[in-house]
Amino acid sequence: MLPDILKITIPALLVFATAWLVLYKFIGNENKNRKVQVLLDNQKVITPIRLQAYERMVLFLERISPQSLVIRTQKQNMTNLDLQNALLKNIRSEFEHNMAHQLYISDKAWEMVKTAKENVIKTINQNAIKVKPDAPAIQLSKSVLEKMMEYDTDPTQKALDYLKSEIRQLFF
């Protein structure tokens, strides 16, 4: 009687163990495939957003470069103080408008962008001290642009170069 039960039970246990092992592996593979698919789907959504964030940071840096900023901001009959305030307001406004993009760029890239912004602000403020506040704005413009020419690489260009190299590494 016992041998008859064993003859039935052992093959049944072997079939059960084999089925369980096959199902366990199959379910594990399916979960891995789902995770890979979710990651791929996320990449399809996030990659364009990340690329757009890098584009926005490049545009931000171009807009706060002193050469572009001074030309765009300076108006007729402005004083040095007016121009300084307008330049700083423009930089802060642009920066606040683009802050959310830091989520999609690397920490190093964000630091480079912030450093460039701070260096431009510092250059403007240092040169504003050298000129009379009520003098024509052209004096501040000239002083800032001359200071930028003294740099080996202006702050915004250094950050731009870094962003471009990072984009090439990530996407191309």
Residue 103 falls within a domain, yes or no?
Answer: yes
Question: 66-120 pLDDT, tens per residue?
Answer: 999 999 999 999 999 999 999 999 999 999 999 999 999 999 999 999 999 999 9
Residue 102 falls within a domain, yes or no?
Answer: yes
Residue 83 falls within a domain, yes or no?
Answer: yes
Q: How confident is the model at residue 40 (pLDDT cuts 50, 70, 90)?
A: confident
Residue 19 falls within a domain, yes or no?
Answer: no
Residue 25 falls within a domain, yes or no?
Answer: no
Q: Could you give the angle at the alpha carbon of 79 between the alpha carbons of 78 and 81, nearest 5°?
A: 120
What is the span of the domain harbouring residue 149? Answer: 48-171
Residue 99 falls within a domain, yes or no?
Answer: yes
**3-state secondary structure string across 71-105:** HHHCCCCCEHHHHHHHHHHHHHHHHHHHHHHHHHC
Residue 8 falls within a domain, yes or no?
Answer: no
| Domain total of the chain | 1
Asked whether the beta carbons of 134 and 79 are under 8 A apart, the reply is yes
